[in-house]
Amino acid sequence: MRHGKKSGEYMVLLGTIVNGICIIIGTLLGRILRFIPEKMKETVMYGIGLSVIVLGLQMGFKSENFLIVIISIVFGTVLGEWWSLHDQLNALGRWLEKRLGSKEEGTVAQGFVTATLIFLIGAMAIIGALDSGIRNDHDVLFTKAVIDGFTAFILSTTLGIGVIFSAIPVVVYEGVIALFATQINRIVPQPLMDHFILEMTAVGGIMIFAIGLNLVGITKIRVANLLPSILVVAMIVTILHFF
């Protein structure tokens, strides 16, 4: 039984581990292949952005009651803007750069801090880790792993080997969320959890769709300010379940 439990935990962390490995591989390749043409980098990033858009659409269409999704996005975004999550995260990034960064370009500290902020700040890490923990579905984190791997590749060509150390906080952050999500699944009634998963997946899909639009340069949506929508959908689904 103990062996089976550990195997299950490893499966829950599969997406997180793959994400960390892709960051490491991307960084090493970036240090080896430093002179890739800018047009090639740009086109590949567009391709990844389009793939993320399709993933977001697939998730968004899974809702059984899209009114819940709309209400959650509206009120969640209001909360996110009110709390200024996007600005606070950027302020945290600037504070970290002052504390750990260096004026000298290309240092280990600068590469580590810059890459960590890029990989952790955003909806994909949270939504993907929740999906891994609740549904044992790693598609979002696998997609994020590809994006992070390519981003690490580009960053390491200019910021150096320090980018590789960002894999550590990424694995810890996503792993904690995924493991926490497995405990939620044990406490919450199954019908409520099933309903929440469907609507949370749809809400998360809209955020991932927005990330894709940002990646291809169509929009500059402050996706971090949409994150409270997950809390709102949990409240709405819970109220509907009990009342």
The structure tokens 């199954």 sit at 190
Which residue stretches of the chain are H helix? 2-12, 14-32, 38-60, 66-83, 85-100, 108-120, 123-135, 139-159, 167-187, 190-215, 229-242
DSSP at 18: H
Selected residue with higher pLDDT from 197 and 70: 70
Q: Is the predicted pLDDT of residue 148 greater than 90, yes or no?
A: yes
Report which of 221, 209, 184, 235 is spatially closest to residue 76, judged by C-alpha positions: 235
What is the pLDDT, as a whole number, of residue 140? 92
**Domain count across the chain:** 1
> Using CA atoms, how far apart are residues 181 and 67, in angstroms rounded to an integer?
25
What is the pLDDT, as a whole number, of residue 47? 85
Report which of 153, 144, 177, 126 is spatially closest to residue 55, judged by C-alpha positions: 144
Mean pLDDT score of the chain, rounded to an integer? 85
- pTM of the model as a whole: 0.76
Selected residue with higher pLDDT from 74 and 120: 74
Confidence of residue 51 (pLDDT cuts 50, 70, 90): confident
Confidence of residue 145 (pLDDT cuts 50, 70, 90): very high
Full domain range(s) for residue 63: 2-242
C-alpha torsion sign, points 91, 97, 98, 99: positive
Q: Is the predicted pLDDT of residue 8 greater than 70, yes or no?
A: no
> Using CA atoms, how far apart are residues 154 and 38, in angstroms rounded to an integer?
10
Q: How many residues does the chain have?
A: 243
Selected residue with higher pLDDT from 213 and 114: 213
Confidence of residue 18 (pLDDT cuts 50, 70, 90): very high
CA distances from 22 to 18, 79, 97 (A): 6, 33, 24
